[in-house]
Amino acid sequence: MSLLSGRTKESMYHSLTYATILEMQAMMTFDPQDILLAGNMMKEAQSLCQRHRKKSSVTDSFSSLVHRPTMDQFTEEEIHAEVCYAECLLQRAALTFLQDENMVSFIKGGIKVRNSYQTYKELDSLVQSSQYCKGENHRHFEGGVKLGVGAFNLDYGLLQLQEGASGHSLRAALCVMLLLCYHTFLTFVLGTGNVNIEEAEKLLRPYLKRYPKGAIFLFFAGRIEVIKGNVDAAEGQMPRGQRLSGRYPQAIRRFEECCEAQQHWKQFHHMCYWELMWCFTYKGQWKMAYFYADLLSKENSWSKATYIYMKAAYLSMFGKEDYKPFGDDEVELFRAVPGLKLKIAGKSLPTEKFAIRKSRRYLSPKPISLPIPALEAEENFRSISANEKRIKYDHYLIPNALLELALLSMEQGRNEEAVKLLETAKQNYKNYSMESRTHFRIQAATLQAKSSLEKGNRSMVSSVSL
């Protein structure tokens, strides 16, 4: 940081990089002072970029309405200033949404996002034009454009991000990290979970080799192992050639290495604690899962309601005598959840809404415990759908059960059945917990199922014609 701070008043890239690191810290802490500091630094970076941008006359402004700008209208410094300016706008918009909750701030943030998008769009047109001439540092400019366009258009822009990641620009690592986020997180949140593990490992491998103690790369390595199912592999289960420094690259060990790699950003440890909590949940080791949920509730302010809910959920898995040494009461924790709700950018977090709704059953004088049925997966989902009218609290279960049944049907090649289940889930159920997230997954699954049906029909037609 000291190497960057000395040149933030004179160098666009030093200023932008310094402000970006401060923004990452603010995103991890949600501390008002960190957000304010990052916002001020990003504003300074934007002002510096503005000073280096091409000065437009009235004639230039009118001409741009008729003709797209061409490369010969910019110096190399001016073209770099444009891409840095667009990046500053986008990052300032994110901070605006975090900092204030009033309508004026939302409008200001939206305008910044739109202006950033328009700038990236124009710059992409310049790169694609036949008149584009590569300058001395063209790869850094192109890397910035690919990062911006790819971030705005994740479905269409994966190619842009992949090209940016394979280059040698300043933003290549950012393109890699955005792609890793897509493969290890977004595909589960907004899609069907069909992750390209090979692509993710290929992206990560050179960085993990170059920075074996790099915390962020160790974190993504842990996520990849979770997705592969290597939560805590025994020695005999690991193939040869997968040893790393005498250890097996299991998820739990990766996250532990990530925590050991740096001590400066405690919030980065919290990301690992969250993943470790789920790793021990998958293993059914409720006490260890509770331990990490407890750490998060005490050290982190992202979502106290979620952490307390998780603590209570883990306690509910213990025997009555087992949780006494922990000093917490399951029912009291569930009852505390509604009072811990946060608002970020004027909106409540979907996970907190979910936790609060799940906690309602404990608010009455006679709490209704969370059910723990031991049924086979498909039968379990069908049972939920069959008992729809008996469900009093957790209405989100029905559309999500139909979605999971559809995914199971798709795995077995029953795509017509899957489409019907997905349409039922989409059309018949409204106003339940985390509805938007479920709709994203339903849409992704529907597109995949219909695509498989079309391919099947085409192959049938071709076989008949033969």
| Distance between CA atoms of residues 254 and 231, nearest Å | 10
Q: Degrees (nearest 5) of the Cα angle 256, 260, 266?
A: 100
Q: Which residue has the tokens 């510096």?
A: 48
Q: Which residues contact 301 (CB under 8 A, 6 or more apart)?
A: 29, 30, 31
Indicate the SS3 state at residue 247.
strand
| Distance between CA atoms of residues 392 and 70, nearest Å | 62
Same domain, 230 and 272: yes
Same domain, 302 and 276: no
In a domain, 60, yes or no: no
By percentage, how much of the chain surpasses pLDDT 90?
31
Same domain, 312 and 261: no
More confident residue, 166 or 324: 166
The answer on pLDDT for 246 being more than 60 is no
The answer on pLDDT for 341 being more than 60 is yes
Same domain, 319 and 368: yes
In a domain, 191, yes or no: no
Domain boundary, last residue among 310, 342, 372: 372
Which pLDDT value is given to residue 69? 60
The answer on pLDDT for 450 being more than 80 is yes
Same domain, 1 and 89: yes
Same domain, 327 and 440: no
The CA R_g of the chain, rounded to the nearest whole Å, is 25
In a domain, 168, yes or no: no
DSSP codes of every residue in 326-360: GT--HHHHHHHGGGG--EETTEE-HHHHHHHHHHG
Q: If you average pLDDT over residues 308-313, what whole number do you get?
A: 94
List pLDDT tens digits, range 156-205.
Answer: 557 888 888 888 888 888 889 989 998 898 888 776 667 789 999 999 99
Instruction: Return phi, psi of residue 163, to 5°.
Output: -65, -40
In a domain, 161, yes or no: no
Q: Which domain holds residue 248?
A: 196-235+242-280
The answer on pLDDT for 419 being more than 70 is yes
CB 436 within 8 A of CB 350: yes
pTM: 0.71
Same domain, 344 and 421: no
Indicate the SS3 state at residue 244.
strand
In a domain, 454, yes or no: yes
Same domain, 18 and 35: yes
Q: Is the dihedral of CA 355, 358, 360, 366 positive or negative?
A: negative
In a domain, 128, yes or no: yes
Q: What's the chain's average pLDDT?
A: 82
Which pLDDT value is given to residue 288? 93
Same domain, 361 and 424: no
Q: For the chain, what is the domain count?
A: 4
HSE on the CB side for 331, CA within 13 Å?
10
In a domain, 177, yes or no: no
Same domain, 17 and 44: yes
From 379, 361, 363, select the one nearest 371 (Cα to Cα): 361
Give the lowest-confidence range in 75-84, 154-163, 353-362.
Answer: 154-163
In a domain, 139, yes or no: no
Copy the structure tokens of residue 388.
């729809």
Same domain, 276 and 309: no
Question: Which of the 8 DSSP states describes residue 61?
Answer: H
Burial profile 276-293: b = 16 or more Cβ within 10 angstroms, e = fewer: bbbbbbeeeebebbbbbb
The answer on pLDDT for 376 being more than 90 is no
Domain boundary, last residue among 133, 168, 187: 133
Copy the structure tokens of residue 271.
């990301």
Cα 194 versus chain centre, distance: 15
Domain boundary, last residue among 133, 154, 185: 133
Same domain, 271 and 305: no
The answer on pLDDT for 242 being more than 70 is no
